[in-house]
Structure 1
Amino acid sequence: QSRDTLADIIPKIELKVIKETYFLFCENPFESNKVDEDYADEFESAKINGFRTLLFNFDDLTSEFYFKNATKQIKASENLSNVIYRGWMLTPKQYSNLYEDLLSKNYKLINNVTEYQNCHYLPDSLEFIESKTPKSVFEKFENSESIEKLIEKTKKFGSNSVILKDYVKSEKHDWETACYVSDASNVQNLKNSIENLIRLRGKYLNEGIVVREFIELNDLTIHSKSGMPLTEEYRLFFFNQKLVEIYDYWEEGKYDLIKPETKEFEEIGKNVKSNFFSMDIAREKNGNLIIIELGDGQVAGLPDKAERNEFYKKLKNYIC
């Protein structure tokens, strides 16, 4: 389907001068007048830093039949105001529904639908990060023929190792059977892993499948609960193409006190067509830094060790 939607066209029309910026959060599923408890700390931090807040019903928005009821508690604003969403991931269609519904009430989400998808879907992000991220091929999933087309594209990897994911997420906890393939030229094994990934993602499969070159990253530690090996990774947040902050990605493991140099990534960030996005970077075993992926800043989680009040305080400096 075309990505040139009403939500992309309307923002180009100057309706009114934007007066204020709100933060939008999901309601608690059991108490409509309270925020989802997983975002309670961010909700309070936004208010402490002087932002006004809005709540909507996430379950309604993600429902095929009730999405139009998602913002029924939000009253129309007299002045056009910017809105920054902080919450759970949305498909581009769900985001489009939210965008258009809010705009009808005079609230404009910080990213339009195209800008959201630019960083939410890896294939769309490649336009901005391809020179600094692992080689990748992808195919929209429609049927078994899609898998065959994707396998044909993977021939460029030869017998090298690859990892699998959909356009947004992987199944890392099923590393050996649905994520990591040690030899991309082993077609049967590759096909089995792709089919396992599709089965595990089920109805949550995001658009299609991506096959990426496997890069050896610098080891950090073993996760105390899942047993998954953790590598040296960082999450950067950008607002209006400017770096807001860089955080250690994992809550466990010993990171250096001095964060990596970000100048090269800041230059790349200047060309990303999004007003608010995250960039995950990682250190290879040889010491080089690469980009793992981009994410829309509205649905990118803050690492556990990130101080929420400080994050919103820094955002305020870029917004105001």
Structure 2
Amino acid sequence: MPTTPAEDATATVLYCHDPLNERRADAHFAAEARRLRAAGGTALLVDHDALLAGDADRSVARVPVGAGALWYRGWMVPADRYGALDAALRRRGCRLVITPEEYRRAHELPGWYGVFAALTPASAWLPADPGRMPDPDRLTALAAGLPPGAAVVKDYVKSRKHEWDEACYVPDLGDAAALHRVVGRFVALQEEFLAGGVVLRAFEDFVAPLTPAGTAAAAEVRVWWRDGVPRLVTAHPDSPVDAVAAPDLEPVRAAVEALGCPFVTTDMALREDGVWRVVEVGDGQVSDLRSGVDLDVFVRILAAGQAPLRAPSASGTTPL
């Protein structure tokens, strides 16, 4: 069951340590860790490299025994490594607030797709090992089950949108040669980082919305949910525009509640027909925070929970 804010009045959060100094947080998270401490929380450090290398016990060597319930805020980790992290912490009398099952459910598309199916592009997937192209016949059959037209290729967690034509976009799912070429290139570029398998997502046309003032807004927004309630809306971290338009969150709220995970993000974009769509779901622990967001606002979400958000401001984040 999701935690309630009352259960987490003072959060203890695991941050990845600086690769060059194990006594301080990684530079990407250092300011957040400082604000957490200032808000009354506790910031502890873990070794992300050791975790990825398979040595979970070494990764948590600096975590005090009996530290209790812990959040993780750091770089992405594969679901199996997250499970190893939880197991190592339990051997030290601690545990992760978000269980390995909850993490996988929010972090990987097959875990969240079912409850978001009506709100997100049609998708289908095949399990695949890193470096291994799925069977071409099975891949063709997978594509045949989706609406005709274009599609996007990704794994269970990420796409390679910066290699759009080469390893992401398939103009026509009926073109088996093009499908196999793009998927093959995607698998090759992902190398050992291929997460879970290959996903095909029906392509939808999105448009850049306008703010209430009529100015340009970010084409994609990130909504942060804590305990089933939206707490913060920002432009997507990759957006060149800070300002955000208000997405319609009511249809999404029911899906987030059904997912049953304590801390998730939903990335949303406005389809050309005026419907807001969920383009990605993620575990909030490993979702990146847009530069410039008020860290006091963000750490309070971790530390104690907040009142429901109000409408976004044209400056880019919702006031809480």
TM-score, normalised on structure 1? 0.85
Q: Which residue of 2 aligns with 1:261?
A: 248
1:31 CA displacement: 0.7
Letter in 2 for 1:192: R
- Separation in 2, partners of 1:160, 1:144: 22
5+ residue gaps, structure 1, are: 1-10, 12-16, 222-229
Displacement of 1:68: 2.2
1:84-95 matched pairs, under 5 angstroms: 84-95=71-82
Question: Are 1:232 and 2:222 counterparts?
Answer: no
1:146 aligns with 2:135: yes
Aligned-partner residue type, residue 118 of structure 2: S
1:280 aligned onto 2:270: no
Shift of 1:145: 5.0
Q: How far did residue 129 of structure 1 move? A: 0.6
Q: Determine if the alignment matches structure 1 residue 304 to structure 2 residue 291.
A: yes
Q: Quick one: structure 1 residues 19 and 131, their matched pair in 2 at CA, closer, same or farther if it must change by over 3 Å? A: closer
Which residue does the alignment assign to 2:192?
Answer: 203
**Maintained 8 Å contact 2:218/2:243:** no
Match of 1:98 among 64, 81, 85: 85
**Partner Cα separation in structure 2 for residue 236 and residue 18 of structure 1:** 21
CA offsets 1:129-151 (integer angstroms, 9 cap, x no match) = 11110000100014445343122
| Corresponding residue of 1:5 | none
Q: Take 1:47 and 1:286, find their aligned partners in 2: how far apart are those partners?
A: 45
- State whether structure 2 residue 32 is matched by structure 1 residue 35: no
Q: 1:252 aligns with which of 240, 243, 246?
A: 240
Indicate if the aligned counterparts of 1:217 and 1:231 stay in contact, CA closer than 8 A: no
- Contact 1:166 1:210 (C-alpha < 8 Å) held by counterparts: yes
The alignment-based identity, stated in percent, is: 23
State the Cα distance separating 1:81 from its structure 2 match: 2.2
For 2:18 and 2:46, locate their aligned partners in 1 and report how far apart those are by CA, in whole Å. 9
Quick one: distance in 2 between partners of 1:305 and 1:251? 12
Q: Which residue of 2 aligns with 1:59?
A: 49
Are the counterparts in 1 of residues 226 and 301 from structure 2 also a CA contact under 8 Å? no
2:189 aligned counterpart, secondary structure: helix
Seen in structure 2, the aligned counterparts of structure 1 residues 231 and 151 have a Cα distance that, compared at 3 Å, is farther
Contact 2:153 2:167 in 1 (8 A): yes
Matched, 1:46 2:36: yes
Within 5 Å, give how 1:71-220 maps onto structure 2: 71-77=60-66, 81-142=68-129, 143-157=132-146, 159-219=148-208
- Report deviation, 1:163: 0.5
Please list the CA deviations of residues 103-141 of structure 1 after superposition, one character each: whole Å capped at 9, or x if unmatched: 222222121111000011111111221111000010001
Quote the Cα distance in structure 2 between the aligned partners of 1:47 and 1:267. Answer: 33
Matches within 5 A, 1:7-22: 21-22=11-12
Could you tell me how far 1:181 is from its partner in structure 2?
Answer: 0.8
For these two proteins, the number of residue pairs brought into alignment is 293
Higher relative contact order (CA 8 A, sep 6+): 2
* CA displacement at 1:75 relative to structure 2: 2.0
Q: Check if 1:243 corresponds to 2:230.
A: yes
Aligned-pair distance for 1:263? 2.1
8 Å Cα contact 1:244-1:315 kept in structure 2: no
The corresponding residue for 1:226 is none
Aligned with 1:270: secondary structure?
helix
AA aligned opposite 1:138? W
- Using the size of structure 2 for normalisation, the TM-score is 0.85
Q: 1:317 offset after TM fit, Å?
A: 3.4
Q: Over aligned residue pairs, what C-alpha RMSD do you find?
A: 2.4
